[in-house]
Amino acid sequence: MVGRLAVPDGEGRRPGILIAHEGNGLDEHQKERAAHLAGLGYVAFALDYVGGGKPLQGRDETMALLGPLMGDADRIRALGRAGLDILLSEPRTDSSRVVGIGYCFGGTVVLELARAGADLAAVVGFHSGLATSRPEDARNIKGRVLVCIGAEDPIIPPEQRTAFEQEMRAGEVAWQMNLYGGAVHSFTHPNAEQSGLPGLRYDERADKSSWKSMLDLFDDVFA
């Protein structure tokens, strides 16, 4: 697993951001996100949960690596925990102020990490998989949860959103779901349509709006 760590200028400890990439692997866009967050004053680590530290080639390779992970909550949580441990091992990281953000299956990774009881002030999922095999573990979530979902996302259908809402309520989680009309899956990635997969498309409005919602949440939990 080959991730990307970005540390802000200056000295002293800063809040930490764990970033989990889309299902097609750790690409330059996610690495640049880490650098951008470092520029905003955060220690950011873009973990690699499929291996190699680079994008996967095509749907077949992606599913070959992701398929065994889907539904394996223990493995997903272990990978997320390993990435979190790297972030926490950086001396500049303020371990009392850490959040996890994830995109697509990466959203599943950080949500499962939170369900496992990781000490995260917040979790943010962008067009993230919301389903879990252990909904009862929502009671272990310690921080706030924000999920940003395209209203027309064929991969995250309304029934999955409803089940997630029921899970969050049952777990008494402080949660929020933002829906973006007209947006489908991978709306935050400028190159989404290059995958050739149906239901993936960049949406600049939803991308900017969801990013602002995340930063507003950071301001709240890191205050």
3-state secondary structure string, 15-75? EEEEEECCCCECCHHHHHHHHHHHHCCCEEEEECCCCCCCECCHHHHHHHHHCCCCCCHHH
Q: What domains can you pick out in the chain, each with its CATH number?
A: 4-221 (3.40.50.1820)
Contact 130, 147 (CB under 8 A): yes
**Closest-CA residue to 112 (of 128, 91, 89, 92):** 128
Provide the pairing of β-strand 4-6 with 43-47: antiparallel
Provide the pairing of β-strand 122-126 with 93-103: parallel
* pLDDT (mean) for 58-87: 86
Q: What is the pLDDT of residues 80-101, one digit of tens each?
A: 999 999 999 999 999 999 999 9
Q: Which two tokens stand for residue 37?
A: 């967050």
pLDDT at position 66 = 75
Whether the pLDDT of residue 79 is over 90: the answer is: yes
* pLDDT (mean) for 163-170: 98
pLDDT at position 129 = 94
Contact 188, 210 (CB under 8 A): yes
**Closest-CA residue to 17 (of 26, 4, 29):** 4
Task: Read off the amino acid at residue 214.
Answer: M
Q: Count the alpha carbons within 13 Å of 1 in the hemisphere toward its beta carbon.
A: 18
Q: Which two tokens stand for residue 100?
A: 């996890």
Give percent of the chain above pLDDT 90.
Answer: 82
Whether the pLDDT of residue 49 is over 80: the answer is: yes
Residue 185 has what DSSP assignment? B
Q: Which two tokens stand for residue 27?
A: 């690409």
Spatial distance between the Cα atoms of 61 and 56, rounded to a whole number of angstroms: 6
Whether the pLDDT of residue 36 is over 90: the answer is: yes
User: Higher confidence at residue 120 or residue 61?
Assistant: 120
User: Higher confidence at residue 14 or residue 58?
Assistant: 14
CB under 8 Å to 139, separation ≥6 — which residues? 170, 171, 172
Question: Collapsing DSSP states into helix, strand and coil, what is residue 121?
Answer: coil
Question: Collapsing DSSP states into helix, strand and coil, what is residue 87?
Answer: helix
Q: pTM for the full model?
A: 0.94
**Closest-CA residue to 101 (of 193, 198, 217):** 217
Q: Phi/psi at 106 (nearest 5 deg)? A: -60, -30
Chain-wide mean pLDDT for the chain? 94
